[in-house]
Structure 1
Amino acid sequence: MAKKTCKNITILGEEIVPGKKKFLTLDAARLHTYTKIEVPVVVERAKKDGPVLLLTAGIHGNELNGIEIVRGLLAKKYTRPDAGMVISIPTVNVFGFINQTREFPDGKDLNRVFPGTRKGSLASIFAHHLMNEILPQVDYCIDFHTGGARRFNSSQIRISKGNEELFKLAEVFSPRFIVYTAQRDKSFREAATKSGKKVLLFEGGKSHDFNQRITTRGMLGTLKVMHHLGMRDFSEEIANYDFPPPVVIKESSWVRAKQGGLFRFFVKDGSKVEKGQVVGTISDPYGRFEFKVKIPESGYIIGLNHEPVVYKGDALLHLGVV
């Protein structure tokens, strides 16, 4: 049973009154110029008690699809619950968002320093404040990510094996794939899970890019989860979409380039592929050779490298096996 909202809730030093919306700022870290890193936090609380849902995006500042998903939810006022509370942080790594970089200002990957420490690196200090000033109020979290570099991920929810409630929520979200993956050491997902929170990690699209197919799936999935948790009736909004049940991926691995050159692919992300199927070619720039890229075992393409120039050993496609 999720923790219910209570009469007195304080977040970042501000009292959150039932039925009200608050724009807050998480400013736990400073740059070398002593300028604060101010991260906007939008809190919307219903008059009625219910679950508390946290929406986070932009932990990696150049992963824009998640930011667009949360922005769209806020703009359409879908984050106003009839029960419980929604906390939205569209740009967790706002400095990385401004500079369109993955990292935090100190060069650290913010998603590798959780739960953070009060006296650690700049990223670690920020992670510590996020964990201690916002997360204690939360029951559920949807953390939005994209593929790194030029890797395009099909819409997928990543969860750990053995958690039936998370699996049910992932089914409700209705992505293209549900992928069983181990938690990354010192990631936000790992730290929040250890704190007793239910975390769905959404992956979709690639960095430095918007993709309407992905953002629509992400927004709709969030509405479905809120509807399922009894936070708001979205029957009308979700009635127009009829996605097939998600494919459950139990294992996955990357197919890597056996030689460098110009890579072109013949398949779409999300496609079902068969063992031995030719899904692309790698050639030199001068027309002297062209090697076929074949699938080592049957499965689904859950991620695809959109980089046209690859080196030997580069990841070409992420193959999921059911």
Structure 2
Amino acid sequence: MKLSTTPIILFGESIMPGENKTINVEIARLHTTTKLNMPIIVRRSKYEGPIVLFSAGIHGDEINGVEIVRQLIRKKINKPKKGTVICIPIINVYGFINKSREFPDGRDLNRMFPGSKTGSLASQFAFYILAEIMPIVQYAVDFHAGGASRFNAPQIRISHNNSDLKGLADVFNAPFTLYSRNIVGSFRNSSERMDVKMLLFEGGKSLDINKSVTNEGVNGAERLLSHLDMLNAKLDVTVQPSNTIYIEKSGWIRAKCSGLLHDHNTIGTFVKKGTVLAIITDPYGKFERKVTAPNAGYIINANHSPIVYEGDAIYHLSNALDSEEGE
């Protein structure tokens, strides 16, 4: 391995080879004038190598991703044998404080990229992330969770016709890998335009921490770093042939009536056509209506809300016909 001599510059601060630094970025204060920082944790090896970003909390209520990145730091998985690992556990600090998906301006940060230096608060955040961080990054994993009480089975999402990302998805080896179009305004879309190889991880639901999902995220990150020859030699990683299930097409099963949803816990499993996934009842004991699978496939998302309205998305099933949910 070759020793590195070149500093990395982030938000005007220099990080030398072998140095560990936390950069507290303040873009705007709270309305009380209280300072609010976005900590960026940087760990550099003395040796040259890739720069990898692990980020979470782009939606402030998706805290399972925050827990994954926290564990990467706590377990020193972010201490690379070579190269640099950048961790941002919480991008949307404002939303995290308020347990909210959006920024205080009501905007979804993951629809604001590439942003503007003089735009809304969310737009400014998007601008500075792309301008200050992403130009030096080669690989990234952005961790998300399902919104609105919808629980995602652990999955990686990648764009179609990208062999590099498919290879990385094989290495990460989540239970599922979905081919998913890049959404205009998303972090993933802008990052790929900058030639950053980004995997988007989805797992769990908002305002919840799930141990199984967390383990999938942490283990996948370890496998990715091992593949890049960056994983600290003191850490053990399970290297195994990829058995991730690739899903080309998927869609939503929607509630055909309003009522109480009694889920049969099929998340992550393969179901046959006609399998009863749930029962919807009224509160007064007058009716019970079955929710059945319209085709065979994997249940990759389930609505955990106890109350649903007619037309609500309740199950995401592979090979279904309805449109796919955005990240």
How many correspondences in the alignment?
A: 318
User: Which residue is equivalent to 1:250?
Assistant: 248
User: Which residue is equivalent to 2:162?
Assistant: 163
Distance verdict in 2 for CA 1:304–1:319, change over 3 Å: same
1:118-133 to structure 2, matched below 5 A, reads 118-133=117-132
Distance in 1 (alpha carbons) for counterparts of 2:290 and 2:7: 63
1:71-220 to structure 2, matched below 5 A, reads 71-220=70-219
User: Which residue is equivalent to 2:25?
Assistant: 26
Distance in 1 (alpha carbons) for counterparts of 2:260 and 2:32: 44
Q: Which amino acid aligns with 1:167?
A: K
Q: Deviations over 1:25-46 (max 9, x none)?
A: 1212334444443100001110
Tell me if structure 2 keeps the 8 A contact 1:224–1:234: no
Tell me if structure 2 keeps the 8 A contact 1:270–1:301: yes
Q: Which amino acid aligns with 1:44?
A: R
Distance verdict in 2 for CA 1:145–1:6, change over 3 Å: farther
Say whether 1:60 aligns with 2:56: no
After TM superposition, the structure 1 stretch with the greater mean CA deviation from structure 2, 304-313 or 226-235, is: 226-235
Distance in 1 (alpha carbons) for counterparts of 2:260 and 2:240: 38
Distance verdict in 2 for CA 1:117–1:299, change over 3 Å: same
User: Which residue is equivalent to 2:8?
Assistant: 9
Say which SS state the counterpart of residue 28 (structure 2) adopts: strand
Q: Which amino acid aligns with 1:211?
A: N
Counterpart of 2:309 (choices 285, 290, 311) is 311
Q: Give the % identical residues.
A: 48
User: Which residue is equivalent to 2:222?
Assistant: 223
User: Which residue is equivalent to 1:38?
Assistant: 37
Say whether 1:69 aligns with 2:68: yes
Distance in 2 (alpha carbons) for counterparts of 1:84 and 1:251: 37
Distance verdict in 2 for CA 1:179–1:87, change over 3 Å: same
Shift of 1:236: 5.4
User: Which residue is equivalent to 2:323?
Assistant: none
Distance in 2 (alpha carbons) for counterparts of 1:104 and 1:173: 30
Distance in 2 (alpha carbons) for counterparts of 1:238 and 1:223: 6
Q: Deviations over 1:242-276 (max 9, x none)?
A: 69701101011010000011111213310101112
Tell me if structure 2 keeps the 8 A contact 1:12–1:25: no
Q: Deviations over 1:168-223 (max 9, x none)?
A: 11111111100011111101111111111111000000001010000011000000
User: Which residue is equivalent to 1:293?
Assistant: 291
Shift of 1:315: 0.8
Distance verdict in 2 for CA 1:281–1:242, change over 3 Å: farther
Q: Which amino acid aligns with 2:191?
A: A
Tell me if structure 1 keeps the 8 A contact 2:52–2:139: yes
Distance in 2 (alpha carbons) for counterparts of 1:170 and 1:101: 29
Say which SS state the counterpart of residue 25 (structure 1) adopts: strand
User: Which residue is equivalent to 2:324?
Assistant: none
User: Which residue is equivalent to 2:260?
Assistant: 262
Shift of 1:232: 1.9
Distance in 1 (alpha carbons) for counterparts of 2:242 and 2:225: 20
Q: Which amino acid aligns with 2:206?
A: S
Distance verdict in 2 for CA 1:23–1:277, change over 3 Å: same
Distance verdict in 2 for CA 1:5–1:214, change over 3 Å: farther
Distance in 1 (alpha carbons) for counterparts of 2:99 and 2:240: 35
Show structure 1 runs of 5+ residues with no match: none
Q: Which amino acid aligns with 1:306?
A: H
Q: Deviations over 1:68-93 (max 9, x none)?
A: 00001101111010111001000101
Give the TM-score taking structure 1 as reference length: 0.95
Say which SS state the counterpart of residue 141 (structure 1) adopts: strand
Distance in 1 (alpha carbons) for counterparts of 2:5 and 2:32: 40
Shift of 1:302: 0.3
Show structure 2 runs of 5+ residues with no match: 321-327
Q: Which amino acid aligns with 2:118?
A: K
User: Which residue is equivalent to 1:271?
Assistant: 269
Distance in 2 (alpha carbons) for counterparts of 1:59 and 1:255: 27
Q: Which amino acid aligns with 1:270?
A: G
Distance in 2 (alpha carbons) for counterparts of 1:235 and 1:57: 25
Q: Deviations over 1:104-126 (max 9, x none)?
A: 12111111101100111111011
Tell me if structure 1 keeps the 8 A contact 2:77–2:235: no
Tell me if structure 2 keeps the 8 A contact 1:5–1:51: no
